[in-house]
């Protein structure tokens, strides 16, 4: 990992983490929604997870780390659950993705700290 990759992994990772939390919260609310709003909420949840997946793929291409593949696999599993109509079952997969992204962000922060780039000035 070089400085550019670490900065990108850190910033993109934080954005992805936020998206995964938002998606998990949205999907968790689906069970309490009835009628046409339920289907629309599912569509929004699916679209949000797909957007997060695109960010993961971009991050994987720029900030090389083998864990991005694990993040993508977890998101793929979540999308399978969403597309199968069992949205609540996607949340554990999103949580797994979140855990992996947190590891990537921690690695990036550690690298940047070792380079002296996180010192207070």
Q: pLDDT tens for residues 48-66?
A: 999 999 999 999 999 888 9
pTM: 0.90
Distance (Å, whole) CA 104 – CA 110? 10
pLDDT tens, position by position, 12-50: 999 999 999 999 998 888 767 766 667 787 888 899 999
User: N- to C-terminal Cα distance for the chain?
Assistant: 24
pLDDT of residue 108: 95
Report the interhelical angle of 36-62 vs 67-83 (nearest 10°): 160
pLDDT tier at 121, thresholds 50, 70, 90: low
């Amino acid at each position: 990992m070089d400085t550019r990759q670490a900065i990108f992994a850190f910033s993109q990772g934080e954005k992805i983490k936020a998206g995964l939390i938002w998606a998990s919260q949205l999907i968790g609310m689906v069970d309490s929604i009835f009628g046409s709003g339920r289907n629309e909420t599912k569509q929004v949840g699916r679209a949000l997870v797909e957007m997060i997946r695109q960010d993961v793929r971009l991050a994987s291409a720029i900030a090389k780390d083998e864990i991005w593949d694990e993040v993508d696999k977890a998101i793929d599993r979540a999308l399978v659950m969403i597309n199968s109509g069992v949205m609540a079952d996607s949340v554990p997969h999103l949580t797994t993705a979140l855990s992996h992204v947190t590891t990537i962000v921690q690695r990036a922060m550690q690298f940047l700290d070792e380079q002296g780039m996180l010192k207070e000035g």
